[in-house]
Chain A
Amino acid sequence: QSALTQPPSASGSPGQSATISCTGTSSDVGGYNHVSWYQQHPGKAPKLMIYEVNKRPSGVPDRFSGSKSGNTASLTVSGLQAEDEADYYCSSYTSSDSWVFGGGTKLTVL
């Protein structure tokens, strides 16, 4: 199972928005709504930010939103804040009854 494709970097100024894409295939992202997004700060474990494409766990700010079109999912962070600077990974359930992650995107708040 190949890793999902993410851009290596994204950026935005405080208060602006940034969008990160995650491209897979019809066997993973395109075939299921089990797409998740994780935020990871250096030296920390990942934190769930979005699940089932567009649902936010309790405690995650509504500045974080998710969507999907075909084989590509997206994470949008609105009203960027300094603490949003981190690595972001997408993940999807697959038709092989396994899970696959993206290579990660480093989000920089300028």
Chain B
Amino acid sequence: QVQLLQSGAEVKKPGASVKVSCKASGYTFTSYYVHWVRQAPGQGPEWVGRIKPSDGSRIHAHKLQGRVTVTRDTSTNTVYMELSSLRSEDTAIYYCARDNHVWSYDYWGQGTLVTVSS
């Protein structure tokens, strides 16, 4: 069965960086785009970025341009999301999600809570 298993919760200080991983299993990793979506406490989701695992091409939310990088490792079927220069407003649950080929997310990771606090 399709599974997306994310790394554990992180607590970071303002200005630091965080890298969250998402290990995919149960399907052909290179055949599906993977997105990152974050959700601040009590808020709606916000799209962060997307990667095409087959060639590594990626796009990121304009709002986070320059601070976010999405990468992948095809040898371990893992996608990563790194966010730098962290601010308190980056505190959120970060989810990875598989794209079902028609720009919707059919499988989601369990979420990774990133807390930014001094």
Interface residues of A (CB under 8 A from B): 1, 3, 34, 36, 38, 45-48, 51-52, 57, 89, 91, 93, 96-104
Given contact pairs A45-B108, A46-B45, A99 touches B59 in the complex (Cβ within 8 A):
no
In the complex, besides A3-B44, A51-B100, 9 extra interface pairs with C-beta distance below 8 angstroms are A38-B105, A52-B102, A91-B45, A97-B59, A99-B35, A100-B47, A101-B37, A101-B45, A101-B47
Cα A57 to Cα B37 in complex, Å, equals 20
Tell which of A3, A89, A96 touches B62, judged by Cβ atoms closer than 8 Å.
A96
Cα A3 to Cα B47 in complex, Å, equals 10
Flag whether B110 is at the interface (Cβ < 8 A).
yes
Flag whether B106 is at the interface (Cβ < 8 A).
yes
Residues of chain A within 8 A of B104, CB atoms compared: 34, 36, 48, 51-52, 91
User: 1/0 contact trace for B79-105 toward A, CB 8 Å?
Assistant: 000000000000000010000101111
Within 8 A of A (CB), among B41-80: 43-47, 59, 61-62
* B43-A103 in contact (CB<8A): yes
Q: Within the complex, what minimum Cβ distance (angstroms) separates A52 from chain B? A: 5
Chain B residue nearest to A94 (CB atoms) is B47
Cα A19 to Cα B73 in complex, Å, equals 42
Residues of chain B within 8 A of A46, CB atoms compared: 45, 95, 105, 108
Chain A residue nearest to B108 (CB atoms) is A45
* A102-B44 in contact (CB<8A): yes
Flag whether B14 is at the interface (Cβ < 8 A).
no
* A45-B109 in contact (CB<8A): yes
Q: Within the complex, what minimum Cβ distance (angstroms) separates B87 from chain A? A: 19
Residues of chain B within 8 A of A52, CB atoms compared: 102, 104
Residues of chain B within 8 A of A3, CB atoms compared: 44
Residues of chain B within 8 A of A48, CB atoms compared: 100, 104-106
Given contact pairs A46-B108, A48-B106, A98 touches B61 in the complex (Cβ within 8 A):
yes
